[in-house]
A and B are shown apart, each in its own frame.
Chain A
């Protein structure tokens, strides 16, 4: 079955950096677009970024553009999110989500999430 396992979260100071990873299994990772979505404490879902199967299409939400970088390694069945210049408002649970085999699909599988806390 489809499994997505995020890791790399933790406590970081404002201005610091963190790299999240998402290990995928149970499907052909290289066929799927993938996304990062976050949820601040007590708040709703916020899409952050997606990357196409071949990495030639990448988009970011305005809230993270220029600070976060999405990437993937199809040989390792892994998705990444490099987060720089972190702010208190980036505190959230970060989910990776499978995003279909084409553009404008849905988020049909989600990981369990990894908590990022930005605080001094």
Chain B
């Protein structure tokens, strides 16, 4: 089955830029979706189809996808960005969705 690899944690100071990666074999040909899960809350989709922002998601959050790595970038990081972030694709061989293990973003 298709495997997505995320770093367990990323730390960043307020106002700086955070980059969370999601590795997968030739992930660049897949559509990647990203979800933010704040503590005690349900996940919220923040990026769809590699780089599209749903309504209400700030422009500070962006996505990219190429080669074997997709990335979620958050500029001008705020305390409210502290959350777990999950990437997700569809394994087109099994027709099943796959989540990465999640990355905990800590705002220092």
Contacts and interface: CB of A to CB of B under 8 A. Distances in A.
A104 B92 contact: yes
Contacts of A109: 45
B96 A61 contact: yes
A45 B99 contact: yes
Nearest to B84: A44
Nearest to B45: A108
Nearest to A57: B95
Nearest to A110: B42
Q: How many of chain A's residues touch chain B, expressed as a range?
A: 10 to 19
Contact of A106 (B48, B84, B101): B48
User: Which of B84, B95, B97 has the most chain A CB within a 10 Å cutoff?
Assistant: B97
Given A44-B99, A45-B99, A46-B99, A106 B45 contact: yes
B7 to A, nearest CB: 13
Nearest to A98: B45
Interface in B65-108: 84, 86, 88, 90, 92, 95-102
Interface string A83-120: 00000000000010000000110111111110000000
A27 interface: no
Contacts of B15: none
Nearest to A111: B42
B86 A45 contact: yes
A79 B55 CA distance: 25
B45 A47 contact: no
A45 B54 CA distance: 20
A103 B101 CA distance: 23
Nearest to B34: A106
Given A44-B99, A45-B99, 12 more contacts: A45-B35, A47-B96, A103-B95, A104-B92, A104-B95, A106-B31, A106-B48, A106-B88, A107-B45, A110-B42, A110-B43, A110-B44
